[in-house]
């Protein structure tokens, strides 16, 4: 039965006729998420859904214990402090990011990415930060730069630590963007003929070489992450790395394709609390 479900997930990907478990094509985001939860709880009944915010660590108690020890004295505190300084430094006009973002930038990160009806596209948190810069006469940051917008976003997400993810998909245009992101998540590509779902649904909880593969549920709550010390990696930077690992040409970061992928991916973590500024291998 499980194999049949997986085959439904990983075949028949032409167009938008994608099925999540036993769901039909064009299922709502909530239906998609619930089908994934049903699949993972059936496959791993001893893992609590709330623990999926820890990614692969939910399946590996030893790695989780190492993570807990590292997080007592995070090796990247100085990087977060650098992000705080970027956040607090006024623009040339004297205003700050807190002046042009909702709620002063607090408890909002879990709403992103969101569909902007006026722009007719998905807007990420990084886009919102750059929009704020431009509105205040500053040049936008390069979105792939971990030392500027990466650090700034890492700090900003600490202002929403513990916020429940609440990515909304409302209206036909938003749903179309969500479906495009879902399609990309399940579409096989590259010389290895892998999809995101190959690793993070079909093989989640199993080992690839020495590492346990994380499940799609809960993945979006903790990015950007610090890997191997103070090396900051953004979510779309990780997408780029994954595309390259399966020998595929990645879409440009902040492209419509990447933002739609992040939109679907983030919606699958709705209902789980954000874990800002964390360590991952």
3-class DSSP string for the chain: CHHHHHHHHHCCCCCCCCCCCCCCCCCCHHHHHHHHHHHHHHHCCCCCHHHHHHHHHHHCHHHHHHHHHHHHCCCCHHHHHHHHHHHHCCCCCCCCHHHHCHHHHCCCHHHCCEEECCCCEEECHHHHHHHHHHHCCCCCCCCCCHHHHHHHHHHHHHCCCCCECCCCCCCHHHHHHHHHHHHHHHCCECCCCECHHHHHHHCCCCEECCEECCCCCCHHHHCCEEECCCEEECHHHHHHHHHHHCCCCCCCCCCHHHHHHHHHHHHCCCCCECCCCCEEC
Confidence of residue 25 (pLDDT cuts 50, 70, 90): low
Mean of pLDDT values over 80-95? 97
* Averaged pLDDT score across all residues of the chain: 90
Mean of pLDDT values over 163-184? 97
The closest alpha carbon to 215, from 37, 62, 6, belongs to 37
pTM of the model: 0.90
Confidence of residue 163 (pLDDT cuts 50, 70, 90): very high
Domain 77-158 classified CATH 1.10.3720.10?
A: no
Token pair for 139: 């040049």
Q: What phi and psi, each to the nearest 5 degrees, are found at residue 236?
A: -70, -25
Instruction: Specify whether the CB–CB gap between 162 and 50 falls below 8 A.
Output: no
Residue 145 pLDDT: 87
Return the sign of the alpha-carbon dihedral for residues 204, 266, 164, 70: positive
Domain ranges (residues) in the chain: 2-73+169-280, 77-158
Residue 4 pLDDT: 42
Neighbour-count burial of 235, counting CB atoms closer than 10 A to its CB (0-12 exposed, 13-18 middle, 19+ buried): buried
Confidence of residue 227 (pLDDT cuts 50, 70, 90): confident
Q: Calculate the alpha carbon distances from 27 to 19, 24, 30 in Å.
A: 8, 6, 8
Q: Distance between CA 48 and CA 194 in Å, rounded?
A: 27
Residue 175 pLDDT: 97
Q: Distance between CA 241 and CA 250 in Å, rounded?
A: 8
Confidence of residue 123 (pLDDT cuts 50, 70, 90): very high
Mean of pLDDT values over 188-216? 93
Mean of pLDDT values over 167-176? 97
Fold exhibited by the domain 2-73+169-280: Cytochrome Bc1 Complex; Chain D, domain 2 (1.10.760)
Do domains 2-73+169-280 and 77-158 share one topology? The answer is: yes
Residues 54-75 have pLDDT tens digits of: 999 999 999 999 999 999 999 9
Residues forming the active site: 242
């Amino acid at each position: 039965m499980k194999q049949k479900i997986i085959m439904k997930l990983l075949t028949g990907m032409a167009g938008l006729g994608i099925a999540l478990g036993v769901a039909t094509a064009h299922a709502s985001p909530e239906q998609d998420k619930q089908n994934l939860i049903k699949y993972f709880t059936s496959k791993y009944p001893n893992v609590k859904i709330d623990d999926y915010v820890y990614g692969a660590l939910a399946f590996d108690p030893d790695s989780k214990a190492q993570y807990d020890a590292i997080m007592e004295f995070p090796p990247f505190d100085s990087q977060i402090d650098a992000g705080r300084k970027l956040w607090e430094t006024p623009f040339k006009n004297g205003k700050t990011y807190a002046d042009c973002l909702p709620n002063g930038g607090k408890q909002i990160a879990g709403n992103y990415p969101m569909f902007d009806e006026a722009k007719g596209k998905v807007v990420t948190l990084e886009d919102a930060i750059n929009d704020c810069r431009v509105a205040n006469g500053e040049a936008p940051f390069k979105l792939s730069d971990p030392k500027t917008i990466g650090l700034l976003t890492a700090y900003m997400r600490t202002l929403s630590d513990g916020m429940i993810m609440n990515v909304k998909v409302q209206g036909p245009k938003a749903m179309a963007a969500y479906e495009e992101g879902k399609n990309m998540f399940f579409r096989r590509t590259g010389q290895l003929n892998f999809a995101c779902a190959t690793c993070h649904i079909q093989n989640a909880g199993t080992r690839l070489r020495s590492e346990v593969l994380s499940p799609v549920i809960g993945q979006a709550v903790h990015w950007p992450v610090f890997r191997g010390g103070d090396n900051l990696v953004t979510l779309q930077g990780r997408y780029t790395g994954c595309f390259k690992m399966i020998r595929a040409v990645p879409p440009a970061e902040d492209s419509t394709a990447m933002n739609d992928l992040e939109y679907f991916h983030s919606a699958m973590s709705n209902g789980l609390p954000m874990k800002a500024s964390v360590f991952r291998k």
